[in-house]
Every structure is written in C-alpha cells, then in structure tokens.
Amino acid sequence: MARIPPLVHLVLTALLSAATALPVAAARASRLELHPCAGVAALCGELPRPLDPSGRVPGRISVHFEFYPHTGTGPALGTLVATEGGPGYPATLSRADYLELFGPLRRRRDVILMDNRGTGRSGAIDCGALQVAPRWTIEGVAACGRSLGAQAPFYGTAYATDDLAAVLRALGVRRIDLYGDSYGTYFAQTFALRHPRVLRSIVLDGAYPLDGPDYAWYPNYAPAMRAKFDLACRRSPRCARRPGDAITQILPALRALRSAPFAAMAEDADGRRRRFEASASLLATVMFASAPALATVRETDAAARAFSAGDQAPLLRLMAETLSGVDSRDPSDAPAKWSAGLAAAVLCGDPPQIFDMNLPPPLRAIERDRAVANYALRHPLAYVPFTIDEYRRMPLDYSFLDECVAWPHHPGVRPIDPAHGPTPAYPDIPALIVSGDLDDITPVADGAEVARAFPHGRQVVIENGFHVNALPRGRSRCAARVVRRFLRTLEVDADACAAPAVRLLPRFATRAATLSPAYPSAGNRVDTGSLRVARAAVLTVGDVVVRAAQNTRGAGPGLRGGTFRVRAGGRRLELDSVRWTEDVAVSGTIRVGARPERPIVADIRIAGPEGLRGRLRIAWLDEPADARASIVGRLGGAPVRATTPAP
C-alpha cells in the first residue's frame, strides 16, 4: 500500500475530522464547494460575488479563500482571520507568516485567509503597462483606471470587507479575531465599521487611520522620518556624541545633490545594476521609504558623510537598494503576486486626496496646483529637510499627492466610503494596535490615533521596531508574543517589549588604514596596522550579513568588489573576495544563528594591503546594543587576539 505524504494525510484528516463538521455543513447549506488546497493542509473555496452589489455595473468575481481547521480535537474555540497589506498583495501568499504567528493558538482555533477582490486568486487585476512599468507615472495610473472603466470603484476596500463577511456567513462563522498588517489595518478598520458584530477582537499591526484632518498630506510622515534617524542616533553612543541631530549630519550630502544631481549606476543587494539620477528626491526616497528598513537607518548617516568626503559608493548603493525596495513586484511581474492595478484602484478610490475626486481630471489638476501652493505657504517646513517639490518627486505611491490626479472620473457612481459604515463609531471591542517607534510608514502617531478611535483600544509601541512587528519578518519576537497573548486572553502585556537596537555604522572607509584598530587582547602579537585590517574584516562581514537579509536571488555583490552567496535559507553565507574597503578582500563562510541568542560566527581568509594574509574567526551576538565581536586567528604569521564593537 502506498504511503500517504504527511501533508496529504493532514488534509484528509481535516476533511474527515469532526472539527470541520460545522463549516463544511454550513458551506454545503450555502452551496459552497470546499476542496483540499494544493500543497497546503487546508480547504479551499471560491465564493461568487457581484462586483457591484447594486447590479448597475455588470460583472462578477470569484473570491478565493483558505480554511485551516484547528489541529486539536473537539470544537474550535474561535476563528482567526488575517488580512494582508499593500494594497495589492493576496493574503494566501503570506500564509506561512500568518500560520507561524498563529501557530501556538491553532490547536483550538481555525484560521481563514481570503484574497481580496482584485488580488491573488480572486481575479487579480492586470493593468498591463502599469504592472511592468519601471516606475509609476500619473499617465500610467490613469491608463490603468481607464482600462478598468466603470468597474474601477468596486475594487475598493469596503466591497472587499463585504466579501469577507459573505465568506464567513457561508462557512457559518459568527465571530472572528481579525489581524491586519499595514494596509490590512485599513481593511480591518473598515470591516469593524461595516460588520462590528462579527468581531470578537481586532489586532492592527502597523496601523494608520481611515481619514482625519489634513489626512491627504500625511502630516505625521516627515516628523516620523526625522524621529526615526534621531532615535537611532541617540541610542547609538558614537552617533549621540556628535554635535547636532542626525539630520544635520546628512545635510551636506543633501545640499550637494540638490545643487548638482547626476546620472549614476550602482548594484542592489541582489546584484542588479540600477541606473538612476542621484538627486535630492532619491535621497528623500531612501529616508522616507524605509526600504530596506534596517540598512537605511543603519547606514544613511555614514553614507551621507562619506559622500560629502568624496566616497560616493555607499550612498549610491543605498539608493539602488531603495529603488529595489520600493518596487512591490516580484521578478516575474505576476499580478497574482502583487497587483499594481488593484493598488491603484484602492489608493485612488478610498483615501482622501488633496483635490476633489468628483471633479474631472483637468479641473482636479488645477485644484491640486492651488492646494500645493497654499500648503507650501502655510507649511513650508512640512517635509523638512526636503522641499515639497523634492517630496513630490519621490515615487507616486510614496509621496501620494499626485498619483490619482488623472484617475478617470465616473459621474453617477458613488462607491462606498470605507471610513463610514452602518455604525457611526468604532465598535466597543478589545483592540490591540502595534506600532514600531522607528516606523515612519505607519508612524506611532497614526497608531495612537487609531487606538483612540476604539473605546477599548490599546497601543503597544515596540522600541526599535520598524513597519509591521508581529510577523516572522519583524525584528521583535516579543511583538508576536504580545499578539498571541491578546488573542488568547484579550489582555495586553507589553512590559519591556523591544526589538534589538540598531547599531549604526560609525563610518565608511576606502582604506583599512583610516579605520580605528580593533582592541588588542591578551596574547595578541600583531601591530596596529594589522588590527585595522582586522577591523575592516569585521565590518566586511557585518555588511554581508545586512545585505544577505535583503537578498532574493541567492547571490550578491560586495560594496567594492567580490560576491557573496546565500545558502541554507540565509543561515550560511559564502564570501568570495568581498571588499568593503578597497584594500581588504575577505573570503570564507558566515554562520548566522536561527535565534538572536546564538552568535554569528565567521571563518574567513584575508588578503590585505602590502601582501598581508591570514585567517580569522569572528563572532558576536547580534542582539545587545553594545555587543562586541571577538577576533581570533593569525595575520602575517602572527597571532591575533582582539575585540571590536559588533558591526
């Protein structure tokens, strides 16, 4: 008899288990067909839905969802639902993250994931040219809207929340605990206003409000960006000792880019060559977009100072990495993995704009220009250290102000406003809002506003946290523990919840001789010059660890030459003549621990200046802010014993 693969066995068990009896029976009663999902231990379903509930605009959509039965025996204690960000990402594509977050709760709780209309397997919108465009343009966004025609307004958030309510009814699920991250928090709040009685609790991870005064100008965005760099600097002893705040250190580079932008080329962490204009607006994108989050906070200050001193490579690399980071597409450009069309439809249909979307586009553009001029007069420092024009030249879906100015107008179509549901106020349910204090995409101030909207809202701020903290890709394991405890007990316990401090890079260097030497320990027999080379090696290894975390191709470049490869899911890194300085080449392996309490260990070979050769073992713990790296080995035939601040 053939052996049943474990995954298939789990699905078959789920199908036959009494645990699924209620949802399966409800699905049958509503003539909804459930079937084993391909490759995952879940039941899949497709619920037909009208695109326009009123029927005035024709069209139907099939809403895809996955049902994960609880793994224990007996009836379920409840149902957990997770909804994804973007907008444009399907929830089922992030199933591994959500199932890991919910893992300890799944014995007694079912899980449901639904792809919002227009995403994933729920009729992902493919706006051809916009989906593959190197960058969004006003014209490209408008063309996408024209291709959608009168159906465009019905891909909005409110309609997607009604789809989820319909799926729950079809499955006989009466109450849920709803988790949303990033744009998913916008969806979740809309669901709370439209379907409050379905909610037992709500968790919003990286939250921002649905509307409010000056909403369209994103007034908390720039203050949070500045605070992000200032907080990181104050928590880094070397940076804190320098005069002025963190932004002051960056101003000389900004002034140089403002006065003389130039054509540039650099490789991102995947080794893709990016051609771009190095400009004040691209520096703004680096600082606002948090993409990549860790590298930009860790290195922008040092890269800007290096740029002002004539070393362009570090800042140009950050710019190339940011251009990759703000691109939501995967290499295949598949709309089922991220739909640019759905993103445009939501962003142009739901949130308030600085102009009246009911105006025809030509009149809208006039109103926009008038609004920008008036705002610049009243708030000239709104986006400091950048001007409002530099801010507007960031990618459209990061600067927000201009992207929808030419979106088609549909007279007579009045889509549902996501900020106003059947009930006038947020429901009186337990609500947990998780914010990172280094997150400027959904700032702490935005999260606080959302928490105040719920009668029983509670905000937990994760120190050193970036955007979205409870999922596995977050930097804080404690955020996930806070969320799980809340979902289990409806109580909040956030004592001493923090992510590891960001160790800012002190400086970049082109030659090892300009670095501070590592500190010699007992048994060291090498001179100061060799200790500087050892310090360069530590910084090289640290740089590769940061780049590998961003890598998606399995290989990437060193800052000034050489390559690294990513093995074993990022736990083993292989270096081939990687150069962080021009005169020190590092080869060998790095082992990255699966948990923060396990050390990062590098066994490397060095080819240094003036023929210096040697082997070193470097090790450090990544979590303590004041962590130190140990250095043991030989350089030039002499023993090395030293320590230095961890990279």
What is the pTM (predicted TM-score) of this model? 0.93
Please say whether the beta carbons of 249 and 261 come within 8 A. no
Please check whether residues 205 and 84 belong to one and the same domain.
yes
Is 48 a member of any domain? yes
Specify whether 199 is located in the same domain as 57.
yes
Do residues 48 and 103 both lie within one domain? Answer: yes
CB 450, CB 457: distance < 8 Å: yes
> Phi and psi at residue 78, in whole multiples of 5°?
180, -175
Q: What is the pLDDT of residue 423?
A: 66
Tell me, what's the pLDDT at 331?
80
Whether 442 and 580 share a structural domain: no
Pairing label, strands 600-607, 585-591: antiparallel
Between CA 108 and CA 582 the distance in angstroms is: 57
Give the domain range for residue 90: 6-127+150-214+416-489
Do 440 and 517 sit in the same domain of this protein? no
Angle (CA) 204 210 211, round 5°: 145
Q: What is the pLDDT of residue 24?
A: 66
Domain-ending residue, one of 489, 523, 554: 489
| Widest pairwise Cα distance in the chain | 83
Q: What is the pLDDT of residue 27?
A: 64
Query: What does the CA dihedral 66, 70, 71, 74 come to, rounded to 10 degrees?
Result: -140
Residue 631 lies in a domain: yes
As given in the structure block, the two tokens for residue 462 are 């994760």
57 and 107 belong to one structural domain: yes
Q: Which helix (H) or strand (E) holds 529?
A: helix 528-550
Element (H, E) at 601: strand 600-607
Residues 554 and 449 in one domain: no
Would you call the peptide bond into 385 cis, given omega within 30 degrees of 0 as the criterion? yes
Residue 206 included in any domain: yes
Q: What was the pLDDT predicted at 334?
A: 94
**Which residue intervals of 242-356 are DSSP H helices?**
246-259, 280-289, 293-308, 313-325, 340-349
- Residue 175 within any structural domain of the chain: yes
In a domain, 484, yes or no: yes
3-state secondary structure 228-251: HHHHHHHCCHHHHHCCCCHHHHHH
Query: Does 421 share its domain with 545?
Result: no
- Is 494 part of any domain? no
- Residue 391 and residue 191: Cα distance in Å, rounded? 32
Q: Please tell me whether residues 478 and 516 are part of one structural domain.
A: no
- CATH number, position 92: 3.40.50.1820
Q: What is the model's pLDDT at position 237?
A: 81
Burial of residue 66 (CB within 10 Å: 0-12, 13-18, 19+) is buried
Counting the structural domains of the chain, the total is 2
The amino acid at residue 433 is I
Q: Cis omega before residue 87 (within 30°)?
A: yes
For residues 472 and 600, state if they share a domain: no
pLDDT by residue (tens digit) across 451-506? 999 999 999 999 999 999 999 988 888 999 999 999 999 999 877 788 888 999 99
pLDDT (tens digit per residue) in 610-625: 999 999 999 999 877 7
Task: Establish if 314 belongs to a structural domain.
Answer: no
Low-confidence residues of the chain: pLDDT under 50: 1-16
Q: How far apart are CA 581 and CA 578, in angstroms?
A: 9
Distances in Å between the Cα of 469 and the Cα atoms of 119, 203, 439 are 23, 12, 10
Provide the β-strand partners of residue 78: 109
Cα separation, 415 vs 150, in Å, equals: 11
Predicted local confidence at residue 3, as pLDDT: 37
Same domain? 440 vs 538: no
User: Is 312 domain-assigned?
Assistant: no
The confidence score (pLDDT) of residue 213 equals 83
Q: Which of 68, 63, 35 is nearest to 48 (CA)?
A: 63
Residues 524 and 625 grouped into a single domain: yes
Structure token digits, residue 303: 């890269």
The three-state secondary structure class of 85 is coil
Q: What are phi and psi of 23, to 5 degrees?
A: -65, -35
Q: Confirm if 110 and 79 have CB atoms less than 8 A apart.
A: yes
